[in-house]
Amino acid sequence: MNNNNIRNFSIIAHIDHGKSTLADRLLEYTGALTAREMQSQFLDKMDLERERGITIKAQTVRLNYEADDGTVYVLNLIDTPGHVDFTYEVSRSLAACEGGLLVVDASQGVEAQTLANVYLALDNDLEVFPVLNKIDLPAAEPERVKQEIEEIIGIDAHDAVLASAKEGIGTREILEEIVKKIPPPAGDPAAPLKALLFDSWYDQYQGVIILVRIFDGTLKKGDKILLHSTGRAYEALKVGVFAPSMIEVPQLSAGEVGFVIAGIKEVADARVGDTVTLFHNRCATPLAGFKEVKPMVFSGLYPIDTSQYEQLRDALAKLKLNDSSFSYEPETSVALGFGFRCGFLGLLHMEIIQERLEREFSLDLITTAPTVVYKIHKTDGELLEIESASRMPEPQYIDTIEEPFILAHIHVPNDFVGGVLALCEEKRGMQREIKYLTPTRVMVVYELPLNEIVLDFYDRLKSLTKGYASLDYEHLDFRPSDLVRMNILINGEVVDALSLIVHRDKAYFRGRDLVSKMKELIPRQMFEVAIQAAIGNKVIARETVKALRKDVLAKCYGGDISRKRKLLEKQKEGKKRMKNVGNVELPQEAFLAILKVE
Ligand code: GTP
């Protein structure tokens, strides 16, 4: 294939600015999908994605487009996931392209996510050109948004295409721009194979399917390929492209994008960012930018109905097949029974997996409050990585503790800046920058501990800005921090399942809050129950549940036996859901008050 006729590009957009709708239009216009086949938003494969309107897994298509110059071009549209948790995946998809369409909603303007992804594109040396979408909306202000793009992003927007993906306006112009503005791919088809693996997933019938962009060399069916990071070799059983359905081709060569099926058993063996080469004719150096992604946020998942445990285990195994960045291991909890401790890239990733478990696998789950990874440097020199308080060593064995920090970019209308700053300060943030992007829009940049973000940061940000704030974050580093293990004691006994890792400055308030919540939920017993929050030996908060004076039957003097029986049965029923801590009976709700996500 003549490389001059190939264009590899991505669509960069903030969530909801119309990326999927535009992709559909491009597919439809180039005849990749006939109107009858056209299922709205072809690129968002999973139901969940469609329902939530977000793209989770990248999907790539090859389009044939006959341009005004009479040439038929091959356009490879490389879809990218649209959320902060998948920044690494986005960066690898972008690395597979020469250009990007920056789609901005003409009634909204530039958002934090837009900016983050444009920078990723520019870092990857992509030719980026703007498209103003939704110009059919009465609220569209293309001139203002053009100016915003120029001021904030610093790219020329004066001749940005005005489009409405919904109404099909501007589709041909966009295709012409792709052909004219984006450079064709370079690369030597005769050199040793060097291909970027930028996506992989598990298919029930075909095993792992990988998507590659060939930078140098040629890949043919039957070739013995080698994955650089694992050093494992496989035979390329099928080589092809999505157009948009799977079509086998004899070979893929430098500049092209396509899929390979090579009998790879697990997606964990086909890591995004890896270099694919030929076993017998290897490229000298792998492609730059490969990273191993690690879970950063953890939470416990427990079936509400204990009989669903096996089902939950099977479901997790199935999800893991397709998602190497997600991890799980069995865990038991005094309060919740048997479940799993799961690791996710970030909060959205966590939410997606939980929702899929509940929806696709019909499981009812209790989710414990998310936690992050801490690095503990012990006095004996050992380094521990823990994500739950129960694994934290006694204070005398700890030298320092480090916690993960993120860099958050928050875009917000200027009316809400005060509230956002107060929230970031409350969350132990350190301000890096406040910048007026336009007279009414502000970018607030903070360094924040991830531990504070996982609880309720995003929800509070959204509510205090009436939904106008957009947030983007990246992981920075681990930093030493004054973190302590806070224990909850019931009548002097530590309840392991309820221990938390908190910052010392926050411990007092958190402790007060928790014990008073628990006081409300623990029923009165025959004796007094003391609920305490403590750091080491020091009690920082205490509440008391007074002893019960009357028993439940006291009210029914003599007479009505059936009423008595009913009351006793009710009491027994309640007891079933109680857990004993020492001689105190705690209802599950009291545990959930601390463990569960609101
Ligand atoms: P993610 O998949 O989350 O990245 O979102 P997206 O950017 O793909 O947005 P999507 O295409 O799902 O569009 C979001 C919403 O905007 C949908 O309700 C679309 O119908 C609507 N929309 C997209 N393009 C236009 C347009 O040109 N005009 C109008 N009025 N609405 C549009």
The best mutation among 11, 16, 19, 113 to test binding of ligand 1, ranked by most ligand atoms within 8 Å of the C-beta, falls on 16
Q: Does 415 belong to an annotated binding site?
A: no
Atom of ligand 1 nearest to the CA of 52: 3
Q: 533 and 539 in contact (C-beta within 8 Å)?
A: yes
What was the pLDDT predicted at 51? Answer: 45
Atom of ligand 1 nearest to the CA of 103: 7
Residue nearest to atom 5 of ligand 1 (CA): 16
More confident residue, 460 or 572: 460
Distance 19 CA to ligand 1 centre (A): 6
Residue 304: band (very low, low, confident or very high) from pLDDT cuts 50, 70, 90: confident
Q: Is the preceding peptide bond at 244 cis, omega within 30 degrees of 0?
A: yes
d(CA 353, CA 51): 15
Q: Is 362 left (phi over 0), alpha (psi -120 to 50) or beta?
A: left
Atom of ligand 1 nearest to the CA of 133: 27
The best mutation among 10, 11, 12, 21 to test binding of ligand 1, ranked by most ligand atoms within 8 Å of the C-beta, falls on 21
What was the pLDDT predicted at 586? Answer: 75
Which of 216-225, 429-438, 580-589 is predicted most confidently? Answer: 216-225
Q: Does 47 belong to an annotated binding site?
A: no
Q: 73 and 67 in contact (C-beta within 8 Å)?
A: yes
Specify the pairing of strand 99-105 against strand 6-13. Answer: parallel
Distance 360 CA to ligand 1 centre (A): 25
Residues ≥6 apart with Cβ < 8 Å to 60: 76, 77, 78, 79, 199, 211, 242, 257
Q: Does 21 belong to an annotated binding site?
A: yes
Q: Does 135 belong to an annotated binding site?
A: yes
What was the pLDDT predicted at 495? Answer: 82
What was the pLDDT predicted at 580? Answer: 66
Average pLDDT over residues 45-52: 46
The best mutation among 11, 20, 111, 351 to test binding of ligand 1, ranked by most ligand atoms within 8 Å of the C-beta, falls on 20
pLDDT above 90: residue 57: no
Q: Does 562 belong to an annotated binding site?
A: no
d(CA 135, CA 142): 7
Atom of ligand 1 nearest to the CA of 164: 27
Distance 424 CA to ligand 1 centre (A): 31
d(CA 180, CA 4): 11
d(CA 64, CA 33): 11
More confident residue, 77 or 560: 77
Return the structure tokens found at 18: 């119309």
What was the pLDDT predicted at 346? Answer: 82
Give the whole-number percent of the chain exceeding pLDDT 90: 49
- With vertex at residue 553, the alpha carbon angle to CA 550 and CA 555, rounded to the nearest 5 degrees, is 75
pLDDT above 50: residue 147: yes
**SS3 call for 9:** strand
pLDDT above 60: residue 558: no
Distance 182 CA to ligand 1 centre (A): 24
pLDDT above 90: residue 88: no
Instruction: Fill in the DSSP letter of residue 269.
Output: G
What was the pLDDT predicted at 404? Answer: 94
Q: Does 20 belong to an annotated binding site?
A: yes
Count the residues in the chain: 598
358-370 tens-digit pLDDT:
888 999 888 888 8
Task: Determine the residue type at 492.
Answer: G
What was the pLDDT predicted at 1? Answer: 64
Distance 493 CA to ligand 1 centre (A): 55
More confident residue, 498 or 342: 342
Average pLDDT over residues 296-311: 89
pLDDT above 80: residue 274: yes
What was the pLDDT predicted at 279? Answer: 95
Angle of helix 450-464 relative to helix 347-360, nearest 10 degrees, comes to 80
Give the whole-number percent of the chain exceeding pLDDT 70: 88
What was the pLDDT predicted at 555? Answer: 56
What is the rounded average pLDDT for all residues in the chain? 86
Instruction: Fill in the DSSP letter of residue 308.
Output: G
Distance 205 CA to ligand 1 centre (A): 32
Task: Determine the residue type at 254.
Answer: A
Helices assigned H by DSSP within 437-596:
450-464, 504-521, 561-576, 588-595
What was the pLDDT predicted at 549? Answer: 64
* Distances from the Cα of 574 to the Cα of 8, 74, 208, 499, 527, angstroms: 63, 67, 49, 25, 18
What was the pLDDT predicted at 552? Answer: 54
pLDDT above 90: residue 466: no
CA 86 to chain centre: 6
Average pLDDT over residues 51-76: 76
Average pLDDT over residues 408-421: 92
Average pLDDT over residues 183-187: 95
Kind plus residue range of the DSSP H or E element containing 354: helix 347-360
279-299 tens-digit pLDDT:
999 999 999 988 888 888 898
200-243 tens-digit pLDDT:
888 878 889 999 999 999 999 999 999 999 999 999 999 999 88
10-35 tens-digit pLDDT:
999 888 899 989 998 998 899 866 55
Residue 531: band (very low, low, confident or very high) from pLDDT cuts 50, 70, 90: very high
Which of 118-122, 284-288, 583-587 is predicted most confidently? Answer: 284-288
Beta strands in 271-418 (DSSP E): 275-278, 297-303, 327-333, 337-344, 365-367, 371-372, 374-378, 383-386, 398-413
CA atoms within 13 A on the CB side of 522: 29
Residue 355: band (very low, low, confident or very high) from pLDDT cuts 50, 70, 90: confident
pLDDT above 50: residue 475: yes
Residues ≥6 apart with Cβ < 8 Å to 255: 1, 3, 6, 8, 184, 185, 186, 187, 214
Q: Beta partners for 474?
A: 407
pLDDT above 90: residue 69: yes
Enter the ipTM. Answer: 0.96
Atom of ligand 1 nearest to the CA of 14: 7
Average pLDDT over residues 435-461: 88
Distance 53 CA to ligand 1 centre (A): 8
Average pLDDT over residues 511-524: 87
Q: Does 324 belong to an annotated binding site?
A: no
d(CA 51, CA 49): 5
| Residue 48, phi then psi, degrees to nearest 5 | -60, -40
pLDDT above 50: residue 385: yes
Ligand 1, CB cutoff 6 Å, lining residues: 13, 15-21, 44, 53-55, 82, 133-134, 136-137, 164-166
Average pLDDT over residues 84-104: 90
Distance 188 CA to ligand 1 centre (A): 39
Q: Does 517 belong to an annotated binding site?
A: no
Distance 114 CA to ligand 1 centre (A): 14
Return the structure tokens found at 272: 């995004």
d(CA 155, CA 132): 14
The best mutation among 10, 131, 166 to test binding of ligand 1, ranked by most ligand atoms within 8 Å of the C-beta, falls on 166
Which range is least confidently modeled, 50-59, 74-83, 141-150?
Answer: 50-59
Which range is least confidently modeled, 246-260, 371-385, 573-587?
Answer: 573-587
Which range is least confidently modeled, 173-182, 385-394, 569-578?
Answer: 569-578
d(CA 372, CA 158): 45
What was the pLDDT predicted at 493? Answer: 86
Distance 293 CA to ligand 1 centre (A): 30
Q: 136 and 183 in contact (C-beta within 8 Å)?
A: no
Residue nearest to atom 14 of ligand 1 (CA): 16
Instruction: Fill in the DSSP letter of residue 33.
Output: S
Q: 564 and 553 in contact (C-beta within 8 Å)?
A: yes
Residue nearest to atom 3 of ligand 1 (CA): 54
Q: Which of 433, 426, 377 is closest to 401 using CA atoms?
A: 377
- Following DSSP, what letter does each residue of 130-162 receive, concatenated? EEEE-TTSTT--HHHHHHHIIIII----TTPEE
pLDDT above 70: residue 107: yes
Residue 37: band (very low, low, confident or very high) from pLDDT cuts 50, 70, 90: low
